Amino acid sequence: MKKYLFILLLLCVFLSNSNGQTDFEKAARIDLMLRVHTKKNMFSGSVLIAKKGKVLLSKGYGLANTTSTISNTPTTKFKLASVSKQFTAMAIMILQEKGKLSTEDKLIKYIPDYPNGDKITIHHLLTHTSGIPNVTALPVFDSIKGNPHTLEQVIALTKNKPLEFEPGSKFNYSNSGYILLTYIIETASGKKFGDYMKEAIFDPLGMKNSGLYPSNGILKNAATGYTEANEGLIPAPYIDMTIPAGAGALYSTVEDLFLWDQALYTEKLVKKETMEKIMTVYKDNYAYGWMVTKYKEHKKFFHGGGIEGFNTVINRFTDDELCIIILKNVDNYQLFNPNKMATAIMFDEKFDLPVEHKMITLDKSVYKKLVGDYELEPGFILSITTDGNSVFAQATGQDKNEIYPEAESKYFLKVVDAQLEFNKDDKGNINSVTLLQGGAKMPGKKIK
């Protein structure tokens, strides 16, 4: 206990002396923050931070597997989820340099009977501008995601769906496009997707701990994905990794991803002009498998990923030659944002620590008084329900989540940093609620 209090005190000292520190001192602050919040059950994963080719921090936090109590390390393998897309895009561009395909090729060239395939190009698939519906957003997806699929079977799920818009006219993030790119890579290369990725990207870069997640789900030194529940961490719902393919089925480590980051400054994989095309912004700040923006005045190429049990992100601040890689194996730890924290510290910005909320015990009859619908905005309703033992909140179009009492009228969520305050009228009846999130207050009148 005394050691933990000392760490908290040291953390406060680090936070109050942020400016003028060396990069290694900043990385030490980040490491301390991560250790403290791992101890608070707010973080689990691996992190690597490097600047100008020099690794400042490379470390694992928390457990890769809670049953065997194996710790996360820099060589622990994580499911990359949508961080996979940048590798799929690179494979396409390597094949283009070899004359095996062109980004202007029509989809119909590879799947002759694909509806509207004469309108959709590889470029559209790379930039999420094809208009093809997102397969993971289909109502049927949750009921089938646990079953193995061939590429053709996954493609068939959206093949005959109407386009959401004319190809090239809009941006709409769609995993379907990158699953189709996986099929095109196999067709153009004559090899299985995983084999081609190994041959064209992972082996040349020495990424020995990266690849396509095996269909049998068995992978040595891999993290298990978890979800936080009332009873603690539980294994995340199962998804068969044959489904996401090039949209999200690759795995890697923070150390391998650093090799990838460094290679992107060179011509090890493709020529300079090809790399420039990969990183060119098209619609909605999206390039080929990368999102492009700025942090303050610092140019930033990044991509995040989320899949059952895992959250991932790679950030490349190319003008600063700074790389921040964070791979997490608990998918709903959201109160503490390690990506925001690490970025703020490396750029001498202020980072506010999350406020801890402690649950109290209440008579369950109190929950019944909260039940009802509260209108936060026209058409945006917050519904409060109870099963007699717990109380839940569900906003329009969002999941239902349990809320926890810290006072009779004050409740907090664990999945996001948000709180609810229930307000009473002169007669003591609850007549409204106030949602507090991100520094904003949103009142909602009880309408039912």
Burial of 282 (0-12, 13-18, 19+ CB in 10 A): middle
The stretches of 222-303 forming alpha helices (DSSP H) are 254-263, 272-278
Specify the CATH number of the domain 78-332: 3.40.710.10
Residue 21 is given by DSSP the state -
Per residue in 209-246, pLDDT (tens digit) is: 999 999 998 999 999 999 988 788 999 999 999 999 99
Distance CA 338, CA 428 (A): 42
Q: Is the pLDDT of residue 8 over 70?
A: no
Q: Cite the residue boundaries of each domain of the chain with CATH code 3.40.710.10.
A: 78-332
The predicted model gives 420-442 an average pLDDT of: 88
Q: Which of 138, 312, 331, 158 is nearest to 238 (CA)?
A: 331
Q: Are 127 and 162 spatial neighbours (Cβ–Cβ below 8 Å)?
A: no
Q: Which residue has the higher pLDDT, 51 or 401?
A: 51
Radius of gyration, CA atoms only, the chain: 24
pLDDT band of residue 428 (cuts 50, 70, 90) is confident
Residue 313 is given by DSSP the state E
**What pLDDT sits at residue 106?**
98
**What pLDDT sits at residue 439?**
66
- Give, in degrees to the nearest 5, the angle at Cα 317 between 316 and 322: 85
pLDDT band of residue 4 (cuts 50, 70, 90) is very low
Distance CA 448, CA 432 (A): 11
Instruction: Please provide residue 198's backbone torsions phi and psi, each rounded to the nearest 5 degrees.
Output: -65, -45
Q: Is the pLDDT of residue 156 over 90?
A: yes
Distance CA 80, CA 306 (A): 8
Specify the CATH number of the domain 365-446: 2.40.128.50
Per residue in 391-401, pLDDT (tens digit) is: 999 888 777 88
Per residue in 12-22, pLDDT (tens digit) is: 444 444 567 89
Q: Are 375 and 445 spatial neighbours (Cβ–Cβ below 8 Å)?
A: yes
Q: Is the pLDDT of residue 260 over 60?
A: yes
Distance CA 1, CA 249 (A): 41
**What pLDDT sits at residue 416?**
72
Rounded to a whole number, what is the distance in angstroms from the first to the last CA of the chain?
48
Beta bridge partner(s), residue 327: 46, 312
Q: Are 167 and 124 spatial neighbours (Cβ–Cβ below 8 Å)?
A: yes
Per residue in 161-193, pLDDT (tens digit) is: 999 999 999 999 999 999 999 999 999 999 999
C-alpha distances in Å from residue 222, one per residue of 148, 150, 209, 327: 20, 24, 10, 12
Beta bridge partner(s), residue 233: 228
Q: Is the pLDDT of residue 57 over 90?
A: yes
Q: Report DSSP letters for 142-173, one per residue.
A: HHHTTS---HHHHHHHHHTSPPSS-TTS----
Element (H, E) at 267: none
**What pLDDT sits at residue 18?**
53
**What pLDDT sits at residue 358?**
84
Per residue in 374-392, pLDDT (tens digit) is: 998 888 899 999 998 899 9
Per residue in 398-420, pLDDT (tens digit) is: 778 889 999 999 999 877 778 99
When the pLDDT of each residue in the chain is averaged and rounded to a whole number, the result is: 92
Q: Which residue has the higher pLDDT, 414 or 261?
A: 261
Q: Which amino acid is at 432?
A: S
**What pLDDT sits at residue 7?**
41
**What pLDDT sits at residue 1?**
36
Instruction: Please provide residue 423's backbone torsions phi and psi, each rounded to the nearest 5 degrees.
Output: -110, 150
Distance CA 111, CA 179 (A): 13
**What pLDDT sits at residue 14?**
47
**What pLDDT sits at residue 351?**
81
DSSP helix, strand, coil percent of the chain (3-state; round to 5): 30, 25, 40
Whole-model pTM: value is 0.82
Q: Is the pLDDT of residue 99 over 80?
A: yes
Distance CA 318, CA 363 (A): 55
**What pLDDT sits at residue 357?**
81
Q: Cite the residue boundaries of each domain of the chain with CATH code 2.40.128.50.
A: 365-446
- Furthest CA-CA distance within the chain: 77
